[in-house]
Each structure stands twice: as structure tokens, then as C-alpha cells.
Amino acid sequence: MRFSTTQHQAYCGIDLHARTMDVCILNHDGEILGPQNFKASPETFLKVIAPYRDDLVVAVECLFTWYWLADLRMREGIAFVLGHALSMKAIHGGKAKNDRIDAQKIAVLLRGGILPQAYVYPAEMRATRALLRRRVPLMRQRAELLTHIQTTTSQYNLPEMGKKLADKANRDGVAERFSDPAVQKRIAVDLALLGHDDELLRDVDARYPAFPTGPGCCLLLPSGQGRQRIGGQALRHLGDEDRQRVSHMGLLRSGRALPPGQSCRTTIPRQAGEKARQGQGLDRLGPQASACGR
């Protein structure tokens, strides 16, 4: 977990919503300078912080509304900290909770250097990350449909099909194995949804940019569909900040990526009294490994 410990003359905590925002500004001594509710817009925000901009840091939770604020601070050169929502226990565990109190708590945590930080994902890569995230529920639904067909086969004590239903060519005649028309219809619905999911996944995969070559390139790990790479597409070249962010394995647990040629089945040698662990040797890949981010 990372914290922002840089000292400033003013600390701004924002409880940001889609249309409104509660702003609490503290000075270096912890005195409240301006707790107010405003319209959530760039013009209003710049007007509110104008008297304190000489040495101001702004913090907000990493909920779905933070993109425009992060882009604004980049254009205006304002120090910015994105708070990790799941780790901000002081916000979600308090007895009294409202927007004004939440904004003040964010400012207090920021001033004390104990505000858990989330990664501010680059604006040019957010659309790609969002597309990858939309792919996840499609893969989950696809797995559920395949599992349902297999469990129905076992439920009626039918022999194994002996072929993988993940391949479209092996799905002919599957519904006809069942004698009950209602069961046949249920399996036919599963197969139709499988075919639709396959088309959507292929369409999503085809929209990734071509995979660049050279040092620093990263590739998304194989997905659950077969063991093929998702279209063989790169996410981006790593910068210094990214290499620092993924310097240890704990930061690779969400949306892992590997440099070309590296296997995702890296094994950590067993130690005394410990079993060998598969797939957890990502910290040995060095600074080139990257993560999609949260």
C-alpha cells in the first residue's frame, strides 16, 4: 500500500458525485478553510481552489467520477492523489457518514500522510482498460453456460460427450442427447448464448491495437478461452512510473501482463515446510511486467 506523505500548505478533500461535490480544504495546521457543496464542473472547481493554488494538493476517492478531475489537474499542474476506496476504512467504517464528513475525512487523511493511494491510470489507456473489463463478464457467462451443460449431462446420467464444447464445431447434436423436450430447449438456449458470446468476444478482441515489438512491451496473459492470447495485443510501453508501480508481485494480482516470451506458469521453488506454488513467480520477471490497474 502506498501513501502520499508530501507536505503542502493546503489539503483539499473532495467527496465527488456525478453532479455535485463536497469540498473540504484544510491548511497546514489542520484548520478548515472551506467546506462547501458545489456543482461538479471544472470551472467551479478551479474557482473554489483559486485562493489556495500556490501549494495545494487535491484528493478524491477512486470511484467512477474521478476521470475528469484527474485530467483537469494534469492540464492545470495541480498536485493530485487518488484515494484507494477499498482501503479507506476511515471513510466507510465511521458511525456518522455524509458527503461533508467524507470530504473532511479525505482531507484529514491526506494531511496526515495516511491516505491509501490508487494508481491514476493514464487517460489515453482508460478506454482500453474499460474494454478489457467489459470482456470479463462475457467470459464468466460463457464459463457458466459450459458448466451448466456439463452438470445437466451428469444430472441425467448420460455418458460423457468426449469433446470440448468450448469449440463451436463440437456443439452439433448436444441438445438432442436429451429425451425431454424441455431439457433440449434449455440446452439449446445455452448453446445459442454461447455462440453469441463467442461472436462478441471475437469482436472485442479484434479491436485491440496491433502488438508492438521491442523492449518494454507487455502482453495480457492468456484468458480462459482456450489458452490463446487475447488477440495478441499489447497494452502499452512501460514508463518509469509503471515500472515502479509493479516492482513487486503484490501489485500484479489484478489484470496481469507479461513481457513477450514469458510463461504465466512460473513456479516458485518450495521452501522448508512449504509446497511449490504455481503461477506466483511474477516478481521474478523484473521491471518489465505490467498490470492493467484498478
For residues 251 and 267, membership in a common domain is answered with yes
Give the count of domains, the chain: 3
Taking every pair of Cα atoms in the chain, the longest distance, rounded to a whole number of angstroms, is: 77
Report DSSP letters for the chain, one per residue.
Answer: --B-----SEEEEEEE-SSEEEEEEEETT--B---EEEE-SHHHHHHHHGGGGGGEEEEEE-STT-HHHHHHHHHHT-EEEEE-GGG-HHHHS-SS--HHHHHHHHHHHHHHT--BB-----GGGHHHHHHHHHHHHHHHHHHHHHHHHHHHHHHTTPPP--S-TTSGGG-TTSGGG-SSHHHHHHHHHHHHHHHHHHHHHHHHHTTSPPPP-STT--EEPP-SSTT--STT-B-----HHHHHHTSSGGGGSSSEEE-TT--S--EEPP-TT---EET--GGGGGGG-EE---
For residue range 159-191, list pLDDT tens digits in order.
Answer: 988 889 999 999 999 999 999 999 999 999 999
> pLDDT category, 216, cuts 50, 70, 90?
very low
Domain assignment present for 213: no
Domain assignment present for 46: yes
For residues 143 and 227, membership in a common domain is answered with no
For residue range 222-264, list pLDDT tens digits in order.
Answer: 444 433 344 333 334 444 555 555 544 444 443 344 443 444 4
* Domain final residue pick, 120, 138, 158: 120
CB 102 within 8 A of CB 187: no
Domain assignment present for 1: no
For residues 102 and 133, membership in a common domain is answered with no
Domain assignment present for 246: yes
Above 90 in pLDDT, residue 198? yes
For residues 196 and 241, membership in a common domain is answered with no
For residues 155 and 194, membership in a common domain is answered with yes
* Domain final residue pick, 120, 155, 188: 120
For residues 116 and 129, membership in a common domain is answered with no
Q: What is the pLDDT of residue 117?
A: 92
Domain assignment present for 5: no
> pLDDT category, 89, cuts 50, 70, 90?
confident
Q: What is the pLDDT of residue 60?
A: 95
Query: Which one of 47-61, 81-95, 197-211 scores highest in mean pLDDT?
Result: 47-61
For residues 94 and 146, membership in a common domain is answered with no
* Domain final residue pick, 171, 205, 239: 205
Domain assignment present for 198: yes
84: nearest Cα among 109, 56, 111, 55: 109
For residues 61 and 22, membership in a common domain is answered with yes
CB 20 within 8 A of CB 38: yes
For residue range 253-291, list pLDDT tens digits in order.
Answer: 433 444 434 444 433 334 444 444 444 433 333 333 333
Least confident of 56-65, 74-83, 110-119, 120-129: 120-129
Give the type of residue at 60. V
Domain assignment present for 281: yes
For residues 93 and 31, membership in a common domain is answered with yes
Q: What is the pLDDT of residue 261?
A: 43
Range of the domain at 238: 219-291
For residues 155 and 240, membership in a common domain is answered with no
CATH number, domain with residue 87: 3.30.420.40
Find the mean pLDDT for residues 113-120. 91
Task: Give the mean pLDDT of the chain.
Answer: 77
For residues 194 and 226, membership in a common domain is answered with no
For residues 92 and 40, membership in a common domain is answered with yes
Domain assignment present for 151: yes
